[in-house]
Amino acid sequence: MKEIKKKHLERTDFLKGELKDVQFDDPMKMFSTWYQEAHEKNCPEPHAVVLTTATLDAKPSSRIVYMRELVEEGFVIYTNYLSRKGSEITENPNAALLFYWDCCERQVRIEGTIEKIDPLISDDYFDARPRMSQIGAWASEQSQQIPDRQSLEDRVAYFEEKFPTKVPRPPHWGGLLVKPVYFEFWQGRLGRLHDRICYQNNDKTWSNFRIAP
């Protein structure tokens, strides 16, 4: 094994905050507060989140997506239902989210189940998207192997011609709701002695506890 250069071993201390006590009984309220603070501190892409899904035999896959809505029941994203993540969700509705806000030295881990949202809500969101994104939802056979870039651009041209004015929502595209059952709020601290406050859903009520860093 080659020696790792020292510059790769340099560490930066976390000094931007602390989480001494439980601040909210409801973790969704705590998340909303942290999310708002990430916006106020101009964290880049505060709505970007790592979504992890798994096959029926527990083989995981992760990707970064955008949380588009925060609702009382959980977190809404939009995607192609025929994509790899869509197929895995059909097989196995368990999923995990990971938000990381470097400007606050915070991360939030969320575990839960995932389900499709009301098609009418997906329609409203799709109608508000830019036209190019709407065409892309039709043209891209997401996660499928394609021969080259030109084949994708040809499909874009085809659907631009097919839908010269209004673009309808594809039946294979829409929203997903991640309904949380577990949260971990992580605040970086000096000496890697981070604060970690967790919430667990127990029959529609939330309990909270601290875990070691």
Residue-wise pLDDT tens digits, 151-196? 999 999 999 999 999 999 999 999 999 999 999 999 999 999 999 9
Q: Which domain holds residue 61?
A: 12-130+172-210
pLDDT of residue 134: 97
Is the residue at 145 inside a domain?
no
Write the pLDDT tens digit of every residue in 22-60.
Answer: 889 999 999 999 999 999 999 999 999 999 999 999 999
Given a cut of 70, is residue 5 above it in pLDDT? no
d(CA 106, CA 100): 6
The predicted model scores a pTM of: 0.91
CATH number at residue 110: 2.30.110.10
Q: Which letter does DSSP use for residue 26 in this model?
A: S
Whether 7 maps to a domain, the answer reads no
In contact, 181 and 201? CB cutoff 8 Å: yes
The pLDDT tens digits of the residues spanning 124-142 come to: 999 999 999 999 999 999 9
The total of structural domains in the chain comes to: 1
Tens-digit pLDDT profile for residues 78-95: 999 999 999 999 999 999
Distance CA 103, CA 95 (A): 26
In a domain? residue 165: no
Residues 6, 187, 62: CA angle, nearest 5 degrees: 75
